[in-house]
Chains A and B, each alone.
Chain A
Amino acid sequence: MDWLLQQLINGLALGSIYALIALGYTMVYGVLRFINFAHADVLMLGAYAAYFLAPAVGGIFPLPSFTGTLIILLLSAMICAGIGILIEILAYRPLRHRPRLTVLITAIGVSLLIEFTCQHKAVFGADTKPFPQLLPEHDFNLGGLVISSNDLVVVVTTLLLLGIMWFIVQRTKMGTAMRAVSFNQQAAALMGININRIISFTFGLGSALAAVAGILYAMKAPGIDPLMGVQPGLRAFIAAVLGGIGSLPGAALGGLLLGLLETFAGGISGLSNYRDGIAFAILILILLFKPAGLLGKATIEKV
C-alpha cells in the first residue's frame, strides 16, 4: 500500500512535468498542425538559462530561496519565449503553406541544430553539468511515505500554470483568437485576426511553459546536458497524443497518466529496463485504438 502511494506521488510529480511540456506541443499543433520537434530543446535551453542565471540572481537573492527561484523561473521563461518566437519566425514561418512533411523535417532539423550547437565546446559542451540547488529542500515523512518538497513544488506549480493557461485560452481575447486560428486559419484571418501575432504568442507561451518544465525537471534530475530535453520531450509528445493532440485538458491528463504509468512500470522489477519502450508502446496502442486521443475530437476528412 505504501509502495503504491509512494509511486503515486512520484508519478504525479513526473506527470506534472510531462503535462507542462505537452501543453506546448498541443498548442502549437492546435494552431499550426505540426509537431514542433524543437520544443524539447527549448526545454533544455530553459534549464541552461536557469543554470547561468542562478549565480547572478543568487548574488541579490541568495539561493536557495523562493524569491530567487521565482525570479529565475520568470527570466528563463521570458528568454525561452523569445527563443520560441524566433524559431517560428526564422524556420517555420517561411514554410507556412508548404506540405506538412516539409515542415516536420525542418522541425527535426531545427531540433538537431540546437542540440549539436549546444553540444559544441564553445557553447555548453556535451558534458553533464550539476544543476544548482534553487529551493530549500525538505523531505516530509508521512508515516512511511516520503514526499520531497521539490515534488510538491512541481505539482503546485503545474496546477497553477494549468489554471493560468485555462484562463488565457478560455477567458481572454488572445485566447479566443488562438481558438479561432486553430479552428480555421483562413476564416480567422478574414475576421481581422493577425495570424502571425497569434502564432508568435502561441509559440511564446508554449516555450515559456517548456522553460519552467525544464527547470523543474532539472531540479529532480542529477544534472543537465544538451540532450536532456529529448527523453522528456518525446514522453510529453506522447502525452499530448494520449490526451488528444490539440486539446489542453487532454495534454494535462495525458501527461499525468503517462507519468503515473511510467513510474509504476519502472517500479516493477523486470519492467524497469523497458521503461523507455513502454511510453512508445502506449503511444502506438493509443494511435491504433483511439487515434483522436482520450479527449480529442475525431475529424472527418472532407472529400
Chain B
Amino acid sequence: MSQPLLKLDHATIRFGGLTAVSKFSLEVQPCELIGLIGPNGAGKTTAFNMITGVYQPTEGHIHLNGKSIAGVKPHALTREGIARTFQNIRLFGSLSVLDNVRAAMQLHCKHGVRAALWRGANFRKLEGDVESRAIELLEIFKLGDLKDEEAKSLPYGDQRKLEIVRALATRPKLLLLDEPAAGMNPTEKEELMHLIRFIKDKFQIAVMLVEHDMTVVMGICERIAVLEYGIKIAEGTPEQIQRDPKVIAAYLGTETEKEEPADA
C-alpha cells in the first residue's frame, strides 16, 4: 500500500495523572473514510486535538505524509492539509456565513496587506474569485441562500454544515469531523451521509469522523477504530466492529474483558 496520509504511532497524551489517549496507533490512507468511535470520554476528541496540533502528544509520534508534526502549530498543519470541525461548533459568530468561508480561504489567497490597501484590479479579481469559490462550496451544502446571514443566527444543523464548508475551504487532504451529525434529525443525517461521501469523492480527500450515531458511522465508514479509556480496543470494517466482543462490551458494559481502566 502507498504511504499513509496520516500515521499515529503510539501517540499518548497525559494531563497530570490522567492518560487521555494511550499508545494510539492508526494509519489513514488518502481518500479513505474512517470512523473513530467509543464511549463518552474515550479520548476521541483528544485524539483529534493531537492530530490537529492543538495538543502535543506526551509520547509517540504523528506523521502526516511521512513528516512528523511534532511542534507544528495548528494553523501550519492546516496549510499542510488538515482541516477540522468542532464538536461544540466554533464558527466565527459575528461574521456572515460567506465570510466564515472566506476567512478560511485566506490561507490560499495570494494577496495580503498591500493588495488589500491598494485595491487594484488584480485585488478585485482575486476577491471575486474567492467569493465565487466560497459560494460554490456553500451551494454544495445548500447554504448559498444564507450567505449574508450572521453565522450565529443559523439553525443548529446549518451551523454544523457551515463548519464543514469552512473546513473544506482550506482545501484539506484530511478532513476531521467531530460529531457532525449531533443534533440533526434523521432526514438531515441521511442528507449529511450523502454529502460526506460526495465531498470525499469530489475533492478526493480522506475523511475521519468521530460520531456517536451508529447509523451514520456504520453507513458510510470504510474502516472504524474504537477507543475506550484512551486505548484502541478494535479496528476493522463496520461488519467486523459490529461483531467484535470487546466493542460490544465497551458499549453495553458487560463484564467480559473488563480490564483495569488505563490510568483513569
Residues 1-41 of chain B, each 1 if its beta carbon lies under 8 Å from chain A, else 0: 00000000000000100000000000000000000000000
Distance A115 CA – B259 CA, assembled complex (angstroms) = 64
The minimal Cβ–Cβ distance linking B5 to chain A, given in whole angstroms, is: 22
The residue of chain A having its C-beta at the shortest distance from the C-beta of B46 within the complex is A303
Residues of B within 8 Å of A122, CB to CB, are none
Residues of B within 8 Å of A288, CB to CB, are none
Residues 283-301 of chain A, each 1 if its beta carbon lies under 8 Å from chain B, else 0: 0000000000000000010
The minimal Cβ–Cβ distance linking B52 to chain A, given in whole angstroms, is: 9
* CB-contacts of A267-291 with B (<8 A): none
Residues of B within 8 Å of A300, CB to CB, are 15, 55
Subset of 7 A-B contacts with CB under 8 Å: A300-B15, A300-B55, A303-B45, A303-B49, A303-B54, A303-B55, A303-B86
The minimal Cβ–Cβ distance linking B107 to chain A, given in whole angstroms, is: 20
Residues of A within 8 Å of B86, CB to CB, are 303
Residues of A within 8 Å of B45, CB to CB, are 303
Q: Which 7 residue pairs across A and B have the least CB separation, nearest first?
A: A303-B54, A303-B49, A300-B15, A303-B86, A303-B45, A300-B55, A303-B55
Residues of A within 8 Å of B49, CB to CB, are 303
The residue of chain A having its C-beta at the shortest distance from the C-beta of B52 within the complex is A303
Distance A303 CA – B74 CA, assembled complex (angstroms) = 12
On chain A, the number of residues with a Cβ less than 8 Å from chain B's Cβ atoms is 2
Distance A303 CA – B54 CA, assembled complex (angstroms) = 8
Distance A303 CA – B15 CA, assembled complex (angstroms) = 14
Residues of A within 8 Å of B55, CB to CB, are 300, 303
The minimal Cβ–Cβ distance linking A54 to chain B, given in whole angstroms, is: 52
The residue of chain A having its C-beta at the shortest distance from the C-beta of B48 within the complex is A303
Distance A155 CA – B49 CA, assembled complex (angstroms) = 49
Residues of B within 8 Å of A303, CB to CB, are 45, 49, 54-55, 86
Distance A300 CA – B20 CA, assembled complex (angstroms) = 13
Distance A303 CA – B51 CA, assembled complex (angstroms) = 13
The residue of chain B having its C-beta at the shortest distance from the C-beta of A301 within the complex is B54
The minimal Cβ–Cβ distance linking B167 to chain A, given in whole angstroms, is: 15
Distance A92 CA – B83 CA, assembled complex (angstroms) = 40
The minimal Cβ–Cβ distance linking A56 to chain B, given in whole angstroms, is: 54
Residues of A within 8 Å of B54, CB to CB, are 303
The residue of chain A having its C-beta at the shortest distance from the C-beta of B86 within the complex is A303
Distance A303 CA – B52 CA, assembled complex (angstroms) = 11
The minimal Cβ–Cβ distance linking A292 to chain B, given in whole angstroms, is: 14
Residues 51-67 of chain B, each 1 if its beta carbon lies under 8 Å from chain A, else 0: 00011000000000000
The minimal Cβ–Cβ distance linking B87 to chain A, given in whole angstroms, is: 9
Distance A300 CA – B15 CA, assembled complex (angstroms) = 9
Distance A303 CA – B87 CA, assembled complex (angstroms) = 9
Distance A156 CA – B264 CA, assembled complex (angstroms) = 46
The minimal Cβ–Cβ distance linking B49 to chain A, given in whole angstroms, is: 5
The residue of chain B having its C-beta at the shortest distance from the C-beta of A300 within the complex is B15
Residues 28-68 of chain A, each 1 if its beta carbon lies under 8 Å from chain B, else 0: 00000000000000000000000000000000000000000
Distance A303 CA – B84 CA, assembled complex (angstroms) = 12
Distance A300 CA – B45 CA, assembled complex (angstroms) = 15
The minimal Cβ–Cβ distance linking B50 to chain A, given in whole angstroms, is: 11
The minimal Cβ–Cβ distance linking B57 to chain A, given in whole angstroms, is: 14
The residue of chain A having its C-beta at the shortest distance from the C-beta of B84 within the complex is A303
The minimal Cβ–Cβ distance linking B15 to chain A, given in whole angstroms, is: 6
The minimal Cβ–Cβ distance linking A183 to chain B, given in whole angstroms, is: 14
The residue of chain A having its C-beta at the shortest distance from the C-beta of B54 within the complex is A303
* CB-contacts of B90-134 with A (<8 A): none
Distance A74 CA – B95 CA, assembled complex (angstroms) = 54
The minimal Cβ–Cβ distance linking B178 to chain A, given in whole angstroms, is: 10
Distance A163 CA – B54 CA, assembled complex (angstroms) = 41
The residue of chain A having its C-beta at the shortest distance from the C-beta of B15 within the complex is A300
Residues of A within 8 Å of B15, CB to CB, are 300
Distance A300 CA – B86 CA, assembled complex (angstroms) = 17
Distance A269 CA – B45 CA, assembled complex (angstroms) = 57
The minimal Cβ–Cβ distance linking B77 to chain A, given in whole angstroms, is: 14
Distance A300 CA – B56 CA, assembled complex (angstroms) = 12
The residue of chain A having its C-beta at the shortest distance from the C-beta of B88 within the complex is A303
The minimal Cβ–Cβ distance linking B230 to chain A, given in whole angstroms, is: 16
Distance A303 CA – B50 CA, assembled complex (angstroms) = 11
Distance A261 CA – B54 CA, assembled complex (angstroms) = 38
The minimal Cβ–Cβ distance linking A205 to chain B, given in whole angstroms, is: 30
The minimal Cβ–Cβ distance linking B20 to chain A, given in whole angstroms, is: 10
The minimal Cβ–Cβ distance linking A236 to chain B, given in whole angstroms, is: 30
The minimal Cβ–Cβ distance linking A123 to chain B, given in whole angstroms, is: 42
Distance A300 CA – B54 CA, assembled complex (angstroms) = 10
* CB-contacts of A203-225 with B (<8 A): none
* CB-contacts of B72-87 with A (<8 A): 86
The minimal Cβ–Cβ distance linking A302 to chain B, given in whole angstroms, is: 9
